[in-house]
């Protein structure tokens, strides 16, 4: 039996799967006034938006997304999540370990929308 779902801690990020993030950068920074918080070349450009993040991701970074927006929910852990997702009619697509950044569990909801659960990496021992 899987554990009960704990609610997400917050919306960690919403990102746009973009063919050319660099060409969209001027719009998001200039037209929308979003300040850059982090940039990994033209692969990932992350902006601050209140207490959350908005980002542009190249298609390689956005995978498995190929277009559109992806909501990323920050969670404490992934315990029982795959079972709950499948039981509710969703599909688990995979887990991506990003080392010191944390890990992302990608899934599709019952209508096929891509959602990701983000778990921060454990703090390094001092």
Alpha carbons 34 and 101: distance in angstroms, whole number? 22
- Predicted pLDDT at 1: 45
Which pLDDT band holds residue 111 (cuts at 50, 70, 90)? confident
Question: Using one digit for the tens of pLDDT, what is the confidence trace for 37-93?
Answer: 999 999 999 999 988 999 999 999 999 988 889 999 999 999 999 999 999 999 999
Q: What is the sign, positive or negative, of the torsion defined by CA atoms of 37, 41, 45, 46?
A: negative
Contact between 45 and 55 (Cβ < 8 Å): yes
What mean pLDDT do residues 20-25 have? 92
Residue 75 burial class via C-beta count within 10 angstroms: exposed 0-12, middle 13-18, buried 19 and up:
buried
At 51, is the secondary structure helix, strand, or coil? coil
């Amino acid at each position: 039996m899987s554990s009960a779902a704990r609610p997400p801690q917050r919306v960690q990020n919403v990102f746009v799967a973009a063919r050319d993030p660099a060409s969209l950068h001027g719009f998001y920074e200039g037209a929308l006034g979003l300040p850059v918080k982090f940039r990994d070349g033209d692969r990932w450009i992350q902006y601050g938006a209140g207490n959350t993040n908005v980002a542009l991701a190249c298609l390689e970074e956005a995978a498995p997304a190929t277009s559109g927006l992806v909501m990323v929910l920050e969670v404490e852990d992934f315990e029982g999540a795959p079972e709950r997702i499948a039981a509710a009619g969703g599909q688990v697509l995979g887990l991506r370990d990003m080392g010191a950044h944390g890990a992302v569990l990608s899934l599709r909801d019952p209508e096929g929308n891509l959602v990701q659960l983000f778990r921060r990496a454990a703090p390094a021992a001092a």
